[in-house]
Amino acid sequence: MGIRERLSGNEAVAIALKQINPDVLAAYPITPSTEVPQYFAQFVADGQVDTEFVAVESEHSAMSACITATAAGGRSATITSACGLALMWELLYVASGTRLPVTLAVVNRALSGPININNDHSDSMGARDSGWIQLYSENNQEAYDNYIMSLRIAEHKDVMLPVMTCQDGFITSHAIENIELLEDDKVKAFVGEYKPEHSLLSGESISMGPYDTPMFYFEHQYQRARAMVDSKQVILDVSKEFGDLTGRYYGLFEEYKMEDAERAIIVLNSTAGTAKAVCDELRAKGEKVGILKLRVYRPFPMEEIAKAISHVKAVAVMDKAESFSAAGGPVFTDVRSACYELATRPHIINYIYGLGGRDVPVDVIHFVFDELKKVVADNKPGEIYRHVGVRGV
């Protein structure tokens, strides 16, 4: 019945990695994800894993090494945050374009500049179109669970795409909470062996990473895009199997008190916890409010989200990242677009919040629900691209 523990989000990911025992772990230090390779290096030093730990000289090399290690038939993993993810950018596309199931644990942190070491989602949101599957985690338990599931999703023959699992820097990466771990043998059995159809070390002669001319490039991109579409069902299947094993069931998103909600907030990662607490408070007063917590952002569950909020009168999509598009944050534009075909659409407004570690207390969520009340009363959205918790607005 699992192992009860108290761990930080970083420890939880490190423990998952120990249980998985990947063939290669290549990583470079960056706050706030650094602890994961530190813990892992200790596992290596103590002989608790037989992974090749490659302490590379940059995140660019970390992702490069993971790509070829996976191409060689090994299971590879890396961990990073913020600028580290930005430095990997070029290779993120190479990993997904070469259809290599690398897994990456992102500990979300704001991108420079100016430099800021605290949490927001500008790093992984910027990578949303790199062909990686993205799973978001509310707490340490979800960071652990998502990471274990990510291997099975990535390595599924209908997918063969890399997966990044995300959790909030410091907020969940460093805060210690209760967690239920799986036994080592159960994790090993669940993730199984990585057996790619082709690899550099299988004995066959194979060339990978071609120069792709206009004659073929488009077809290869189409196949990658199809794999992203097909991954949705695989994510659901793997999550079901994981739920049967652990009792913890996950979908594409979590609907919290959404059945009869008139007002709703869509949010991801740790703020979902704060939002649920406010939701409970308001529900106790008889207010019909709900929370939709996005878990799977890529592939984007377009039809499912539209269906889930079709009955709601007003929705606030909260983005912990700017997209500087002058048209709202990334989750907002995706959600709003998803609702276009609905016969009756909710009013949808956007809040950019919590950038660079700006605290997100319950007041912020109360404020957003209050604003939604106004949207419902007026039956029009007003300004749709808004910022909350920032001075001078």
Q: Is 90 in the site for other proteins (CB under 8 A)?
A: yes
Given 192, 210, 247, 361, the residue binding other proteins (CB under 8 A)? 210
Beta bridge partners of 351: 318, 386
Q: In a 3-state reduction of DSSP, which class is residue 145? A: helix
Size of the site for other proteins (CB under 8 A): 43
Given 47, 113, 203, 214, the residue binding other proteins (CB under 8 A)? 203
Tell me how far apart the alpha carbons of residues 140 and 23 are, in angstroms, rounded to a whole number. Answer: 24
Range in contact with other proteins (rule: CB under 8 A) among 62-70, 118-126, 250-258, 269-277: 62-70
Q: Is 382 in the site for other proteins (CB under 8 A)?
A: no
Pairing of strands 52-54, 24-26: parallel
**Closer by beta carbon to other proteins, 58 or else 112:** 58
Tell me how far apart the alpha carbons of residues 296 and 128 are, in angstroms, rounded to a whole number. Answer: 11
Q: What is the DSSP code string of 150-203?
A: HHHHHHSTTT---EEEEEETTTTTTSEEEEEEPPHHHHHHHH-----SS-TTSS
Residue 264: phi and psi, rounded to 5, are -145, 150
Residue 79: which residues within 8 A CB-CB, separation 6 or more? 13, 27, 33, 36, 37, 104, 105, 106, 107
Given 14, 16, 26, 238, the residue binding other proteins (CB under 8 A)? 26
Tell me how far apart the alpha carbons of residues 103 and 341 are, in angstroms, rounded to a whole number. Answer: 34
- The minimum distance between CB 284 and other proteins, in angstroms, equals 54
**Closer by beta carbon to other proteins, 22 or else 301:** 22
Range in contact with other proteins (rule: CB under 8 A) among 21-29, 253-261, 296-304, 350-358: 21-29
Given 46, 57, 197, 383, the residue binding other proteins (CB under 8 A)? 57
Q: Is 178 in the site for other proteins (CB under 8 A)?
A: no
Given 205, 229, 379, 383, the residue binding other proteins (CB under 8 A)? 205
Q: Is 158 in the site for other proteins (CB under 8 A)?
A: no
**Closer by beta carbon to other proteins, 52 or else 262:** 52
Per-residue string for binding with other proteins, 259-298, x by CB under 8 A? ----------------------------------------
Residue 27, burial from CB neighbour count under 10 angstroms (0-12, 13-18, 19+): buried
- The minimum distance between CB 378 and other proteins, in angstroms, equals 52
Given 4, 47, 185, 207, the residue binding other proteins (CB under 8 A)? 207
Contact 297, 136 (CB under 8 A): yes
- The minimum distance between CB 74 and other proteins, in angstroms, equals 3
Task: Say which DSSP state 244 is in.
Answer: H
- The minimum distance between CB 214 and other proteins, in angstroms, equals 11
Residue 104: which residues within 8 A CB-CB, separation 6 or more? 63, 66, 77, 78, 79, 80, 88, 132, 162, 163, 164, 165
Q: What is the DSSP code string of 60-83?
A: HHHHHHHHHHHHTT--EEEEE-HH
214 to 243, contacts with other proteins by CB under 8 A? 216
Given 9, 32, 37, 74, the residue binding other proteins (CB under 8 A)? 74
**Closer by beta carbon to other proteins, 79 or else 314:** 79
Pairing of strands 314-319, 263-267: parallel
Q: Is 56 in the site for other proteins (CB under 8 A)?
A: yes
**Closer by beta carbon to other proteins, 207 or else 379:** 207
**Contact residues for other proteins, defined by CB under 8 A:** 23-24, 26, 50-52, 54-58, 60-62, 64-74, 76, 90-91, 94, 98, 200-201, 203, 205-213, 216
